[in-house]
Structure 1
Amino acid sequence: MTGRARRDDWRRLDEADVRVRPGRGTRPRSKLRPEHADARSALVVEVDRGRWTCALDGDPDREVVAMRARELGRTPIVVGDRVDLVGDTSGRPDTLARVVRVADRSSVLRRTADDNDPFERVVVANAEQLMIVCALADPPPRTGFIDRCLVAAFTGGLGPVLCLTKADLASPDELLAGYAELDLRILVTRHDEEPDVLREALAHKVSALVGHSGVGKSTLVNKLVPDADRAIGAVSAVGKGRHTSTTAVALPLPGGGWVVDTPGIRSFGLAHVRPGDIVAAFPEFVEAVEECPSNCGHRGPPEDPDCMLDVVTAAGEATAGRLGSLRRLLASRAGLDEYQD
């Protein structure tokens, strides 16, 4: 057979012009996504194992259980998120809607388990204020925890409010004096009185409550929302209390607004917060930090003798109390001071 004949045979075997249907796994995915023009807006009020309970149109009497739509992938959805739902939004038992969109967040409360934990946990989204609940006794107050919550609030875009409980067991005067120079609203409650001042502060707002276990947070929630039925536990002998609330949940206030009861936590890590974020919570020191040496840890003498924070304080542009609070946070963030315990 000549070379030309062999080439003619190969041409007859060429199947390049034959259309082969691709398998399902090779089909290119379209970048077009449905618009879901008929989607209904809702507020996420609880999360439980891949299911989100949502208040349709923000109405607490119209709860819908939803799953995350496939096109969202692993998009995180937390309590407080404002979402769009499609599918069965009737709220009937054994029905599921789908979350197809998550709106941009106006604020985010984040924390890590400790300062060495790289995993950042989003606790609550879109809260207007952070209510830091601290007992005056049983367990005793921990100013380090309060300061860390303040930083989390400032960096996350929430307005901080300090709520001191159990004033019937101890005087709040010393703690009030320690925070007198901060631009911070402080509320004091007693176990034997109704928390009317707290009701006023929470009305018509979305507020997150955070605090150690045993400080009376769930007790307050049950007084504010009679139908909440949150678990109330006794303080353990260890001193930090045992966990009584296990999941974050948004509860509707009778007069309007929402309160997000978060789980009792033992630590409030700031691994996700940079030192500059901490300084930014103290506006009077922001410009001074820019004048510090490049390797300055802002701890002051003898570690950082040229720190400009001392210059600002000596000039009367800031107070020693504010500087001490800032340095406490910076030292803890660097792992040099376990002041939370």
Structure 2
Amino acid sequence: MGLLVDGKWQDKWYDTASTGGKFKRSTTTFRDWITADGAPGPDGRKAYPAEAGRYHLYVSLACPWAHRTLITRKLKRLEDAISLSIVDYHMGEEGWVFSERPGAIPDSVLGKKRLYEVYLEADPHYTGRVTVPVLWDKETGTIVNNESAEIIRILNTGFNAFGDASVDVTPEALLPKIDAINVRIYDTVNNGVYKAGFATTQRAYEAAFHPLFETLDDLEERLSAQRYLVPSSAPTEADWRLFTTLIRFDAVYHGHFKCNLRQIADYPNLFGYMLELYQWPGVAETVNFEHIKGHYYSSHKTINPTGIVPLGPDQDLTRPHNRDRLKA
């Protein structure tokens, strides 16, 4: 995981020496919006008009943050409206790169070999981490947004004219509850596994480990009485944001990131909930364990210097989830 400094690529890992061993995620930089008619976005932000074929999404099948945008694109049936590139799962000295590896899709818009070159097209003097997802505007030749939480909402609300308008993962009436639970799950689960896995001191690791499992325990209890994270007739954004961490947990985070108090398979309600979301129409197509395990175990040499990719766990994700016993 490298970064650009004034447009120059540097292969540098996260600096935990200055943070007492804690992993601190950098903030994203490109934060414009897309609306149906180009009207200003949240907080009056600059917005581009939604148009079929104009925008391109760069993702990694390994990355949970990118995965949530890929799921939204699938649920909203925007495959024909928003084109796609998928990076190679291995992140080496050049960061995310494009290749012909099975599951990857080369850069059909700019023809770049490295994702950082896409960033430089948007800003030749860019300074910051080079991350996925990236939502690109082909017309103006720039990055619209590279914050996954916002790209989800852009795809959900801005492109109804080009996809399935009946799908709404952020119903306005539920937004306060969605936002509230997102805050905790982001800090202690989505980012919590990274704070544990990338910690370089025992204290920093334990400071992330305990809140992670406290939250998972609470979610197990919550999901024993209700089908989804907030009372709704279908999964909302909050569910899909949690799902991309849950589906990676037993295969990667439990061992690789030392989040090994329990597996998700040890939580009957959480595991069944994960199965239901995995089996939701179209979602399984977005899950690629070869890319998921291949990325984490081969790319993080400071954690797994041998690069050996474990073969397990052996889990049947198509088994009955039994979540329909609960009222949606």
TM-score range, shorter chain: under 0.3
State the TM-score, normalized to the length of structure 1. 0.26
Q: Comparing both structures, which one devotes a greater share of its residues to strand?
A: 1
Q: Comparing both structures, which one devotes a greater share of its residues to helix?
A: 2
Task: Using CA pairs under 8 Å that are at least 6 residues apart, name the structure with larger relative contact order, 1 or 2.
Answer: 2
State the TM-score, normalized to the length of structure 2. 0.27
